[in-house]
Amino acid sequence: MELGKSSKKWLWSLMAASLVTGNMPSVMAQSAVSKTLLITEVVNDPLFDESTGEFIEITNISNDSIDLSGYMIGDEEKRGGNEGMHAFPEGTLIEPYQTIVISRYADGIVERHGVTPDFELFDSMEDVPELLPTDWATGSIYLANGGDHVILMDPEYNVVDSMAYMDAKVPGVISHPGVAGGHSMERLTEKDTNDASRDFVDQPKPTPGELLFGPNAQKDKIPVSDLKDDVLIVPEPKTGIVLPPTVIAMYDKKSELDTILEAEASSIFIPVKKSGKNGVVTQDGTSLDEVLEQIKGKAIPVIHIEDKKLVAEVDRLLQKENLSDVHIVSSRPEIVREMREKNNEYRGALVYIDGKLNEKKQKELVRSARSSRSNVVVLSQTAMTEDVIRYFRNRGLSVWGIDRANKSQASEMIEMGVAGVVSHDPKEVHELLAAYPEKSITQPPMVMAHRGIPSLKPENTMYAFEEAMELGVEIIETDVHKTKDGHLVLIHDFDLERTTNGTGKVKDFTLKELRELNANKLDPANPSWYQPEITDAVIPTMDELLEAAKGKAVLILEAKGIGYEKEMAKAIKEHDMVEDVIVSSFSSEVLERFAKLNPELGLGFTLSGTKPKEQLEQYAEKQVTDAVQLNAQYFINHQIVTPELIRFAKHRGIILTVYTVNEEADMKRATEAGVGGIITDYAQKLYNTQILP
């Protein structure tokens, strides 16, 4: 007779008693080098709902079948601890080079990776058996993002294999530094050294059920490091300004190139034109390839193209010189976009020098810049005011100003807060910058209200959003989920328990059911935030916030899941808020979907992970290039940002925003480090203290 899953569970629960008898040690023993069973892949920080995306993969690297009956896997190293240690059921066999994938919820792995796990911890799929509880630990496996360990033990409590990451410690094991959200730590070979930092690689696209080694190795899935050796580090202005503008020298003639380079310009602005049938030359008739060869490795080329016929040849010359760290500048969006399509590492900038910018033209320029995949707008001094610069910065675009050989113009632009100065006299710009005292601020970080102002009003409710707008906050960040009946609502967690009086997952409720919940609940982690007098707070819809924020605030809308990008893009367009919205995600795939649906939407790439300890310039280049390829600004955990990344991003026109910064000391530190924006639960602190000028 075939037993149903519920009957099997009953039998397995009886078996579990036999798996936890005997003399158990109180602490796991030191891990030995394994030649039989290995932990081969771990996802601890999956994208979207973490509780449904974690998995552990083990593999038999021996030549014999192994009976896993009573073997245990989990993250609890001490007997009686509150983490998890689960046992394999009686009769579980693993063949040579077979993998077994263990998940918290099997349906989450199927949804993300199209692979059905072999076991799960909680019942989500009828055909996937559950691991058994043990007396070793009282909880379930839930891998911590800040560091944890994975332990495989035999029925006699001998450690067969273990690995650790980040700040977790395991006797005899060197920890892996950790990976970004959505990545896995995957074992590269069957040779076990107990050094997880060497044994496991950062896998951007997890491969549950597949191996990078062995007879069925998926060699094409071995991640190749995209850290570059030839990273260009450009001169930094000597100034007291904490985030000084990048200095871009205007090219006039080849005979002055050496002087420009001696003046330590970070970039060189090179207008080009057509010469003959296929030639591309500068304004003085020098061939572009000759200029590129002279400045290569010394300054960033900023190539100004106004003739569409030059696109193919400029791209060819850049390929010839192996140059991708360049800016392509034009007043014609189609030229920038075509160059970006040829190489998505090229950066784009739109030029506007046609007089003043009214509100309508500002909106048009935002849309044109985004659709051309530009991250910079280059403005004449007559088009600039502090308000204009702030308008573009708030929408993810850096502003460079063109100085027409006028010292007072350059000085005014620096004071207004430009991110870059294009000048015929870079030495003069450096002299102006050198006059500023220490800790001067010309580009105050943008203040971004995280879920409204949850420290004053219930998070992600209209109360919190309205509080932010009344305070004068210009940018509000929030989180978007999709309900069971297809509505878009604003709540951070995938589960209802923390912020409402409901239980269960947001996706399993209709809008009507969610609106009946009280969205004002005491958070034990932040008891001082609780406002008991607010009794009518409800989960708002995205439509409500779009309507309330129109003309008042820029919105950062983080898609907490995948698959409802079309509905979000449609609603944003219907509310005529396209230029006032930045959609964000930890997932590059989600951002790519938004870009295809509406290229005029702003994009924000959210990054967690670990802080690099070496090759800092190389990591900075990689992170900036990742953002450039997506045409996104960066939202990065403030604990992993480095000075090298801030400087590298600044010279490439990438706005760097840090999250979630709540302590005044950290706000001050981030401001003095030169970040472009601060996401915080305490927007009022940034306005009511002396942190910002």
Q: Kindly report, residue by residue over 104-143, the tens digit of the pLDDT.
A: 999 999 999 999 999 999 999 999 999 999 999 989 999 9
What is the mean predicted confidence (pLDDT) over 339-359?
A: 95
Partnered with residue 150 across adjacent β-strands are 163
- In the predicted structure, residue 583 carries a pLDDT above the cut 90: yes
Name the band, by pLDDT with cuts 50, 70 and 90, for residue 16: very low
Question: Cα separation of 688 and 621, whole Å?
Answer: 36
Residue matched to tokens 């009518």: 536
What is the mean predicted confidence (pLDDT) over 296-321?
A: 97
Name the band, by pLDDT with cuts 50, 70 and 90, for residue 28: low
Task: Tell me which DSSP letter residue 395 carries.
Answer: T
Catalytic residue list contains 450: yes
Active-site pick, 176, 183, 481, 492? 492
- In the predicted structure, residue 410 carries a pLDDT above the cut 70: yes
What pLDDT is stored for residue 407 in this prediction?
76
What pLDDT is stored for residue 31 in this prediction?
65
Which of the pair, 406 or 265, is modelled with greater confidence?
A: 265
- In the predicted structure, residue 7 carries a pLDDT above the cut 50: no
Among 169-178, 210-219, 648-657, where is mean pLDDT lowest? Answer: 169-178
The two three-digit tokens of residue 313, written as one number: 């040849």
Main-chain dihedrals φ then ψ at residue 644, nearest 5 degrees: -65, -40
- In the predicted structure, residue 618 carries a pLDDT above the cut 90: yes
What is the mean predicted confidence (pLDDT) over 73-93?
A: 95
Name the band, by pLDDT with cuts 50, 70 and 90, for residue 26: low
DSSP labels, 638-656: TTT--HHHHHHHHHTT--E
What is the mean predicted confidence (pLDDT) over 187-195?
A: 96
Domain at 446-688, CATH from 3.20.20.190, 1.10.10.10, 3.50.50.60, 3.40.50.300: 3.20.20.190
What pLDDT is stored for residue 405 in this prediction?
64
Question: Cα separation of 531 and 561, whole Å?
Answer: 29
What pLDDT is stored for residue 307 in this prediction?
97
Task: Tell me which DSSP letter residue 73 carries.
Answer: E
What pLDDT is stored for residue 276 in this prediction?
81
- In the predicted structure, residue 144 carries a pLDDT above the cut 70: yes
- 246-434 maps to which CATH number? 3.20.20.190
- In the predicted structure, residue 36 carries a pLDDT above the cut 70: yes
Pairing of strands 66-67, 119-120: unpaired
- 583 burial level (CB within 10 Å; 0-12, 13-18, 19+): buried
Domain assignments of the chain as residue spans, ordered by start: 5-221, 246-434, 446-688
Contacts of 551 (CB under 8 A, 6+ apart): none
Which H or E run contains 625?
A: helix 616-630
Task: Tell me which DSSP letter residue 689 carries.
Answer: S
**Chain centroid offset of residue 37 CA:** 34
- In the predicted structure, residue 479 carries a pLDDT above the cut 50: yes
**Chain centroid offset of residue 459 CA:** 22
What pLDDT is stored for residue 154 in this prediction?
96
What is the mean predicted confidence (pLDDT) over 309-332?
A: 97
What pLDDT is stored for residue 570 in this prediction?
99
What pLDDT is stored for residue 30 in this prediction?
63
Active-site pick, 450, 481, 638, 651? 450
Residue 394's alpha-carbon distances to 367, 496, 630, 631, 645, in angstroms, are 14, 31, 18, 16, 20
Pairing of strands 81-87, 420-423: unpaired
Question: Cα separation of 85 and 175, whole Å?
Answer: 20
Q: Look at residues 664, 611, 654 and name the one whose alpha carbon lies nearest to residue 629.
A: 654
What pLDDT is stored for residue 225 in this prediction?
78
What pLDDT is stored for residue 27 in this prediction?
62
In the chain, what percentage of residues exceed pLDDT 70?
A: 94
Question: Cα separation of 681 and 102, whole Å?
Answer: 36
Question: Cα separation of 521 and 501, whole Å?
Answer: 7
Question: Cα separation of 270 and 301, whole Å?
Answer: 7
The pLDDT tens digits for 432-462 are: 999 999 999 999 999 999 999 999 999 999 9
The pLDDT tens digits for 602-611 are: 999 999 888 8
- In the predicted structure, residue 577 carries a pLDDT above the cut 80: yes
Pairing of strands 279-282, 267-275: antiparallel
The three-state secondary structure class of 483 is coil
Name the band, by pLDDT with cuts 50, 70 and 90, for residue 257: very high
- Tell me the average pLDDT of the chain: 93
Question: Cα separation of 329 and 387, whole Å?
Answer: 23
Question: Cα separation of 503 and 495, whole Å?
Answer: 7
What is the mean predicted confidence (pLDDT) over 379-394?
A: 96
Name the band, by pLDDT with cuts 50, 70 and 90, for residue 5: very low
- 460 burial level (CB within 10 Å; 0-12, 13-18, 19+): buried
* Angle formed by the axes of helices 311-320 and 288-295, nearest 10°: 40
- In the predicted structure, residue 21 carries a pLDDT above the cut 60: no
The pLDDT tens digits for 37-74 are: 999 999 999 999 988 999 999 999 999 999 999 999 99
Whether 246-434 shares its CATH topology with 446-688 is answered: yes
- In the predicted structure, residue 9 carries a pLDDT above the cut 50: no
The two three-digit tokens of residue 110, written as one number: 């199927």
Name the band, by pLDDT with cuts 50, 70 and 90, for residue 90: very high
The pLDDT tens digits for 517-572 are: 999 999 999 999 999 999 999 999 999 999 999 999 999 999 999 999 999 999 99
Could you please state the CATH topology (level 3) that the domain comprising 5-221 is classified under.
Immunoglobulin-like (2.60.40)
The two three-digit tokens of residue 544, written as one number: 């409500």
What pLDDT is stored for residue 510 in this prediction?
99
- Predicted TM-score (pTM) of this structure: 0.90
What is the mean predicted confidence (pLDDT) over 148-177?
A: 93
Question: Cα separation of 33 and 43, whole Å?
Answer: 22
What pLDDT is stored for residue 690 in this prediction?
58
What pLDDT is stored for residue 19 in this prediction?
45
- In the predicted structure, residue 33 carries a pLDDT above the cut 90: no
